[in-house]
């Protein structure tokens, strides 16, 4: 086996896990090929990290075609096989099937991978204007749909005058969510935030930082890698909307051997999930709905609704909004056309009734 030529512990320090061994054994090894992790991606230019360091590479057209045919594309965190041609150019020619992959839908409805092969997500949200529970619910569904453990990291705690008052609604909101923990910290105090997160950084593990632009992801990445490799941007004081400073997903290394993938802030996170996955991420709704008076209660004002009674309103609103959204996504073009024609028919009828009522 060619991969045994490479230093296995060194591969583990790049986040290689034993669960990938079967895929590695089944992979199409060419003479002289090597295994590397994709650590940055700019259009068709790849930055790979193998046991000897980083190197630029390109994607073989055959791999590109293969991925396109499977409605897939590469993502930071992928494990790739590459070979170097006579001119010294490195070419990635095969991808190990990822163990997990976070994706979103772009505005045109196409699946867009965010990262692959991650062990823990840090959902970063600022305790300034960035704070938004509905957005957090969305990220929680994203992680849950991939069985990915996640930690909620609230940055900018230093800007918060009354932290306990700020956190109370969050605890109520997320009482039954699957988040492992909630940490509030000041990302600019690098040593303190690295210490707070240290228990979650294990050697060989890959973490991904997710959150909107300006939330403080790169600041945290710097704290954790103890470097200034990630440029951070200033946030306009009036609306605390971040400038987009992280332009590509990047894989970084922590001194203790964990890997971190910093991602550019997402303006919108359109879920790539179905109704069942949304249900599964809202355990609290499922649990409470067993006590609703009606078995098919939709928690929309029916009498005896245990969900409306016990769940914070915002959490239920999130659930219903996400369910509507994924239902729309799941419709095929025919169903969508049918839904539109039903809606048009209804509005014609309503207009007709109105005319009759007003007698004109
Ligand atoms: N006071 C305070 N400022 C912070 C904290 N975390 C981040 N900042 C500041 O917020 C701004 C944005 O932080 P970044 O780390 O660049 O945000 P980001 O999430 O990486 O943003 P993108 O790269 O655009 O996705 C910078 O000016 C940081 O110094 C914090 O905990 N407290
Ligand atoms: Zn109900």
Q: What is the total count of domains within the chain?
A: 3
End-of-domain residue from the set 72, 95, 118: 95
Does the pLDDT at position 360 exceed 90?
Answer: no
pLDDT band at residue 334 using 50, 70 and 90 as cut-offs: low
**Contact assessment for residue 140 and residue 150, using Cβ atoms and an 8 Å cutoff:** yes
- Beta pairing class for 206-210 and 120-126: parallel
- What mean pLDDT is predicted for residues 54-75? 93
Q: Are residues 49 and 180 in the same domain?
A: no
Q: Which of 301, 302, 306 is nearest to 286 (CA)?
A: 306
238 or 131, which is more confident: 131
Q: Which of 73, 98, 88, 85 is nearest to 30 (CA)?
A: 85
- What mean pLDDT is predicted for residues 163-177? 86
pLDDT, residue 1, reads 44
ipTM of this model? Answer: 0.97
Q: Are residues 258 and 124 in the same domain?
A: yes
Q: Are residues 80 and 227 in the same domain?
A: no
**Residue 245 alpha carbon to ligand 1 centre in Å:** 10
pLDDT, residue 297, reads 93
Does the pLDDT at position 234 exceed 50?
Answer: no
Q: Are residues 248 and 329 in the same domain?
A: no
**Residue 187 alpha carbon to ligand 1 centre in Å:** 8
Identify the nearest ligand to the CA of 245 by its number.
1
pLDDT, residue 263, reads 83
Instruction: State the Cα–Cα distance between residues 306 and 299, nearest whole angstrom.
Output: 8
Q: What is the pLDDT of residues 243-276, one digit of tens each?
A: 444 445 578 888 888 899 988 877 778 888 889 9
HEC secondary structure over the chain: CHHHHCCHHHHHHCCCCHHHHHHHHHCCCCCCCEEEEEEEEECCEEEEEECCEEEEEEECHHHHHHHHHCCCCCCCCCEEEEEECCCCCEEEEEECCCCCEEEEECCCCCEEEEEECCCEEEEEEECCCCCCHHHHHHHHHHHHCCCCCEEEEEECHHHCCCHHHHHHHHHHHCCCCCCCCEEECCCCCHHHHHHHHHHHCCCCCEEEEECCCCCCHHHHHHHHHCCCCCCCCCECCCCCCECCCCCCCEEEECCCCCEEEECCCCCCCEECCCHHHHHHHCHHHHHHHCCCCCCCCCCCCCCCCHHHHHCCHHHHHHHHHHHHHHHHHHCCHHHHHHHHHHHHHHHHHHHHHHHHHHCC
Residues 79, 85, 88, 93, Cα dihedral to 10°:
-20
Domain containing residue 85: CATH number:
2.40.50.140
Q: Are residues 117 and 224 in the same domain?
A: yes
- What mean pLDDT is predicted for residues 324-342? 73
pLDDT band at residue 154 using 50, 70 and 90 as cut-offs: very high
**Residue 159 Cβ < 6 Å to ligand 1:** yes
Between 128-142, 237-251, 256-270, 330-344, the lowest mean confidence (pLDDT) is in: 237-251
Q: For ligand 1, atom 30, which residue shows the shortest CA distance?
A: 156
HEC secondary structure over 60-73: CHHHHHHHHHCCCC
Instruction: State the Cα–Cα distance between residues 252 and 242, nearest whole angstrom.
Output: 22
- What mean pLDDT is predicted for residues 311-318? 92
Q: What is the pLDDT of residues 184-220, one digit of tens each?
A: 999 999 999 999 999 998 888 999 999 999 999 999 9
pLDDT, residue 233, reads 46
Instruction: Flag whether 350 is in a domain.
Output: no
Domain of residue 309: give its range: 273-343
End-of-domain residue from the set 95, 113, 130: 95
**Residue 240 Cβ < 6 Å to ligand 1:** no
**Residue 250 Cβ < 6 Å to ligand 1:** no
State yes or no: 155 annotated in a binding site.
yes
Instruction: Flag whether 351 is in a domain.
Output: no
What percent of the chain lies above the pLDDT cut of 90? 54
pTM for the model stands at 0.83
Q: Are residues 107 and 256 in the same domain?
A: yes
- What mean pLDDT is predicted for residues 347-359? 73
Q: Which of 270, 334, 338, 333 is nearest to 109 (CA)?
A: 270
Q: Are residues 151 and 284 in the same domain?
A: no
Q: Are residues 336 and 203 in the same domain?
A: no
**Residue 280 alpha carbon to ligand 1 centre in Å:** 32
Instruction: Flag whether 359 is in a domain.
Output: no
Domain containing residue 291: CATH number:
1.10.40.50
pLDDT band at residue 146 using 50, 70 and 90 as cut-offs: very high
Q: Supply 223's token pair.
A: 């704290």
Using the atom order of ligand 1, give the atom closest to the CA of residue 215: 19
Q: Are residues 114 and 151 in the same domain?
A: yes
Does the pLDDT at position 5 exceed 80?
Answer: no
The residues, any chain, with a CB within 8 Å of residue 345's CB and separated by 6 or more, are none
State yes or no: 215 annotated in a binding site.
yes
What average pLDDT does the chain have?
Answer: 85
State yes or no: 157 annotated in a binding site.
yes
**Residue 181 alpha carbon to ligand 2 centre in Å:** 28
- What mean pLDDT is predicted for residues 216-241? 65
Does the pLDDT at position 90 exceed 70?
Answer: yes
Cα angle for residues 357, 358, 360 (degrees, 5° grid)? 115
State yes or no: 156 annotated in a binding site.
yes
**Residue 309 alpha carbon to ligand 2 centre in Å:** 8
Using the atom order of ligand 1, give the atom closest to the CA of residue 264: 25
Identify the nearest ligand to the CA of 228 by its number.
1
Listing from the earlier edge strand, what are the strands of the sheet with 270-271? 111-116, 101-105, 270-271
Q: Which of 71, 64, 115 is nearest to 93 (CA)?
A: 64
- What mean pLDDT is predicted for residues 218-227? 87
**Residue 154 Cβ < 6 Å to ligand 1:** no
Q: Are residues 105 and 91 in the same domain?
A: no
Identify the nearest ligand to the CA of 189 by its number.
1
**Residue 123 Cβ < 6 Å to ligand 1:** no
Q: For ligand 1, atom 13, which residue shows the shortest CA distance?
A: 216
CB-hemisphere CA count at 13 Å for 218? Answer: 23
pLDDT, residue 249, reads 58
**Residue 158 Cβ < 6 Å to ligand 1:** yes
**Residue 233 alpha carbon to ligand 1 centre in Å:** 6
**Residue 196 alpha carbon to ligand 1 centre in Å:** 17
- What mean pLDDT is predicted for residues 333-347? 69
Q: Are residues 132 and 256 in the same domain?
A: yes
Does the pLDDT at position 306 exceed 50?
Answer: yes
Token pair 């300034």 is found at 128
Q: Are residues 225 and 112 in the same domain?
A: yes
Does the pLDDT at position 229 exceed 60?
Answer: no
Instruction: Flag whether 304 is in a domain.
Output: yes
Domain containing residue 150: CATH number:
3.40.50.300
End-of-domain residue from the set 95, 121, 155: 95
Instruction: Flag whether 175 is in a domain.
Output: yes
pLDDT, residue 86, reads 94
pLDDT band at residue 241 using 50, 70 and 90 as cut-offs: very low
Instruction: State the Cα–Cα distance between residues 341 and 175, nearest whole angstrom.
Output: 41
């Amino acid at each position: 086996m060619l991969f045994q030529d490479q230093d296995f512990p060194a591969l583990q320090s790049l986040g290689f896990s034993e669960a990938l061994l079967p895929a590695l054994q089944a992979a199409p090894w060419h003479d002289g090929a090597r295994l590397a992790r994709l650590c940055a991606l700019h259009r068709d230019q790849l930055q790979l990290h193998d046991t000897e360091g980083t190197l630029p590479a390109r994607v073989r057209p055959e791999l590109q075609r293969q991925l396109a045919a499977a409605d897939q594309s590469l993502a930071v965190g992928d494990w790739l096989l590459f070979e170097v041609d006579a001119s010294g150019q490195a070419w990635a020619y095969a991808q190990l099937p990822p163990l997990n992959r976070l994706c979103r839908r772009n505005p045109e409805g196409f699946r867009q991978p965010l990262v692959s092969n991650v062990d823990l997500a840090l959902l970063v949200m600022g305790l300034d204007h960035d704070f938004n529970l509905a957005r957090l619910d969305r990220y929680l569904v994203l992680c849950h749909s991939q069985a990915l453990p996640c930690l909620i990291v609230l940055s900018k705690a230093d800007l918060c005058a009354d932290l306990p008052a700020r956190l109370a609604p969050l605890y109520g909101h997320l009482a039954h969510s699957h988040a492992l923990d909630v940490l509030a910290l000041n990302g600019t105090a690098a040593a303190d935030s690295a210490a707070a997160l240290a228990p979650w950084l294990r050697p060989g593990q890959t973490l991904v930082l997710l959150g909107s632009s300006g939330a403080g992801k790169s600041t945290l990445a710097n704290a954790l890698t103890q470097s200034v490799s990630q440029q951070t941007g200033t946030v306009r004081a009036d609306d605390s909307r971040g400038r987009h400073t992280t332009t590509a997903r990047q894989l970084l290394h922590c001194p203790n051997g964990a890997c971190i993938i910093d991602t550019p802030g997402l303006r919108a996170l359109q879920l790539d999930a179905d109704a069942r996955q949304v249900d599964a991420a809202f355990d609290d709704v499922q649990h409470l709905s067993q006590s609703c008076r009606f078995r098919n209660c939709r928690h929309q004002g029916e009498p005896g609704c245990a969900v409306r009674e016990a769940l914070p309103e915002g959490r239920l609103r999130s659930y219903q909004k996400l369910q509507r959204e994924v239902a729309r996504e799941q419709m095929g073009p025919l169903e969508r056309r049918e839904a539109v024609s039903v809606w048009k028919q209804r509005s014609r009828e309503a207009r007709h009734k109105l005319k009759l009522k007003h007698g004109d």
